[in-house]
Amino acid sequence: MAKNVADLIDELQLRLRDTSALALTDTIAMRFLSYGVGYAALAFADTLRTFTLTTVRQQCLYNIHNDVSGGAAIVRVVRVAVDGRDLSYTEFGVPGGLPVNWPRVSGDAYESFSMLGKRLLLLYPAVNRASTATLWCRAVPALYTNTVTDTTTEIADDLIPLALTIAETLLLVRERRVDRLREQFQLIQRYLQVPQRVEATRSQRALR
């Protein structure tokens, strides 16, 4: 059964009770927990969040952090669809990828997308009409931004161990408990490598 944020805050308080030389309020614990949940969600590729990009006539380059509402949370674009049509993924500068004259190539419909870094999105070719693109992205959850204050928010079971471990590790940094940090790192690395995560569904594998 999924636990909620309040339960996990209590768990964190319990874990730190013997080491806590500094006051650990629920507010601080929630802040650290929100980061732990965020990175655990990224580590386990928990869910894909959808975002909407309004494309511009004759434009192919977009800054997803500025041009997409809520785009600051996007870590990676996994899938793009425009008008219900999936675009294939293309890499910059590889044989069989984009042609050298891609900046001014225009067409009737978008065919492929590419990313340069984690900010610039390229939709190829440029299209002479505005439309709406749906982006499926790996992004940090809303809880991460600490704008969610509802402590009844539930956290998925498979995220809890890593989320608590990351939050506890950050709190131990705050406590300057270097002796405990080494075992925490080993725990984190174990969570990241052992396939305790739910196996990707077929649709998730197809989206990669």
Partner 1 sequence: MSATDAKTFFDYLNGGLASATIKANGYEYALDALERVGWLTSATLVAVTAGLITVSFPSGAVRLLRVLYDNRELSRENRATLRDLGGPRWQDVKGEPIAFVEDDFTDRTFQLYPRATRVSTALSYPNNEPFGRDYPIGAIVTLTSDRTDPPIWFDVPCALIMMTYARSLESANQDLELAAACEKLAQLLTGIIDRA
Specify the amino acid at residue 48: L
The amino acid present at 105, given as its one-letter code, is V
Contacts of 161 (CB under 8 A, 6+ apart): 191, 196
Q: x/- binding map, residues 78-117, to partner 1, per CB under 8 A?
A: --------------xx----x-xxxxx-----------xx
From residue 2 to residue 21, the character string flagging contacts with partner 1 as x (rule: CB under 8 A) and all else as - is --------------------
Is 38 an interacting residue with respect to partner 1 (CB under 8 A)? yes
Decide: is 207 part of the binding site for partner 1 (CB under 8 A).
Answer: no
Contact (CB, 8 A) for 159 and 36: no
User: Phi and psi (nearest 5°) for 61?
Assistant: -105, 135
User: Of the candidates 131, 160, 125, 157, which has an alpha carbon nearest to the alpha carbon of residue 54?
Assistant: 131
Binding site for partner 1 (CB under 8 A): 22, 28, 31-32, 35, 38-39, 42-43, 45, 56-63, 65, 72-73, 75-76, 92-93, 98, 100-104, 116-120, 138-140, 144-145, 166, 169-170, 173-174, 176, 178, 181-182, 185, 188-189, 192
